[in-house]
Structure 1
């Protein structure tokens, strides 16, 4: 793609013939935490229908994929929109296995406790923990990362490793942004703590998602034949770029206010932001549609 090639496209159908699989972000692309985006769901369903190629949803949700699939259904994401789901929680379970039964302090809401099912690691308080696994803020409606600074000072003094199960800094919930585990990991690291981050933009989640796409396709896939779709520059776009995948940038997501009107982004502003971030996109679109 040359600099004069239009970056903004009318729909996924423009790109579909060039790819044999899609890895698609979930929150901000398929739903906003309250309801599914019907045009986006139909776009993925149309891709599967028209090309016969698989769609794997790749999300920084800090839970294993079964409850995430249930959540998608409850929000109205139809099952024909995707083949499989790979979550940051799936990859985090590998990190928990590596702790070899050590006691864990969980930071996050109770809804994420499915992450720990099947492990012998006891969930304990701060004083008894040998590692910390963070899935988010305990109360993301009222807390901020700064709420955790005093506890982090104590944890860092004890040398506890902080495992971040969701690298997202913020996410849309309806019409507002809420803090995610990535914001806590950033603070912990800034304060001098040791942090292990799984999920996008890191390689393990992409390797797992590509393996699931190959299983669905029934054949190996070259990375040049896979299109990633996402709205987060530090996670989706950087992750695709770092893992040699083309990416369709959904500009109307968490960065929507940076590019002018949400439904009519200014291409120059999109190009400028990508350049500032040292990133590139195969194409961009305000919201996913066919």
Structure 2
């Protein structure tokens, strides 16, 4: 086996100088923190090693701070937050991306009202019809409790006819909210690519977000960092590609496919099948992020 199943972080945390924590599926389930998570974060803080929260949230970090505080994750439990929304905003600010060259200013946003901060104070115009747009920003589904990506096929086909490129501010395909899986922006982006649309995705597992993480942590050797996440496709893939050891939390997005409840651990055989499917492996596997 290329991974080790562990019951808590206490035995491995001393081996690292900094920690990257995913949010949805690791720290919280969209409603409240998982049992034992806040204690675990406090134990990590006792070591005085930096903790950065790295999220594919399609909004800027200030909104995420407020959301975390509303569920009891105090600002003092971590050092910094970096989101895919932050990366997307930087692209909008710089205007250096090929999708934004020329006089491109008007965008059509696919997503819920809660997805805020990307264009705050910038010289862009949010329009409400495909006909007026120069490009798309996808932050998710308008109503992810009832909709699926197929509900957006007709709109995407209209956008494709106008050759509108898409900036996707959340590469995740799905997310756990409570005990239910909901579609994310990445699923809409995947459909747009499938029908021929041009798409650029920002966040995990793409290189820029990890370049910024290394800078913020002020650590040059990636082997001194431990990344904790619940998604093979984003968290573990991104960590592997950047030489960072990783912990896969089985109680997150993969729990349903493994038939797990309340932070149960999968069997080694179940993990091996996922490893074979993705062609890369986590360093460790844990039920929930506990000490």
- TM norm structure 2: 0.92
Aligned residue for 1:241, secondary structure, equals helix
Deviations 1:24-52 (A, max 9, x none): 10011000111112412221221121x22
List alignment gaps of at least 5 residues for structure 2: none
CA distance in 1, matches of 2:40, 2:158: 48
Q: Distance in 2 between matches of 1:7 and 1:129?
A: 49
Contact map agreement 2:106 2:134 (CA 8 A) in 1: yes
Per the alignment, in what secondary structure is the counterpart of residue 13 of structure 1? coil
Q: 1:260 deviation in Å?
A: 4.7
Aligned: 1:139 with 2:149 = no
Whole-Å Cα distance in 1 between the matches of residues 78 and 116 of structure 2? 25
Q: Which moved more, 1:65-74 or 1:262-271?
A: 262-271
Contact 1:20 1:221 in 2 (8 A): no
Pairwise mapping of residues 71-220 of structure 1 onto structure 2 (< 5 A)? 71-97=67-93, 98=95, 99=100, 102-124=105-127, 125-214=129-218, 220=219
| Matched residue SS, 1:111 | coil
Q: What is the rounded CA distance, in whole Å, between the counterparts of 1:6 and 1:243 in structure 2?
A: 17
Question: C-alpha distance in 2, partners of 1:196/1:210?
Answer: 22
Distance 2:254 2:59 in 1: 25
Rounded Cα–Cα distance in structure 2 between residues aligned with 1:113 and 1:17: 37
Partner residue of 1:217? none
Counterpart contact for 1:170–1:180, Cα < 8 Å:
yes
Q: 2-side partners of 1:179 and 1:272: how far apart?
A: 24
The CA deviation at 1:6 is: 6.6
Structure 2 residue aligned with 1:272? 273
Q: How far, CA to CA, are the matches of 1:240 and 1:189 in structure 2?
A: 25
Give the CA RMSD over aligned residues. 1.5
What does the per-residue CA deviation read over 1:211-236, in whole Å, with 9 as the maximum and x for residues that have no partner? Answer: 2222xxxxx33101001100011111
CA contact (8 A) 2:37 2:289 kept: yes
Q: For residues 30 and 178 of structure 1, what CA distance do their matches in structure 2 show? A: 17
Structural mapping, 1:41-52, within 5 Å: 41-49=38-46, 51-52=47-48
Alpha-carbon contact 2:168-2:185 (below 8 Å) kept: yes
Q: How many residues align?
A: 281
Matched, 1:27 2:30: no
**Aligned-residue offset at 1:169:** 0.7
* C-alpha deviation, 1:204, in angstroms: 1.1
CA contact (8 A) 1:41 1:78 kept: no
Q: Relative to 1, partners in 2 of residues 1:174 and 1:261: Cα closer, same or farther, differing over 3 Å?
A: closer
Query: What's 1:222 paired with?
Result: 221
Greater helix content: 1
- 1:91 and 1:199 in contact (8 A); partners too: yes
Aligned to 1:13: 10
Partner SS state of residue 12, structure 1: coil
The separation in 2 between residues aligned to 1:96 and 1:6, in whole angstroms, is 39
Structure 1, unaligned runs of 5 or more: 215-219
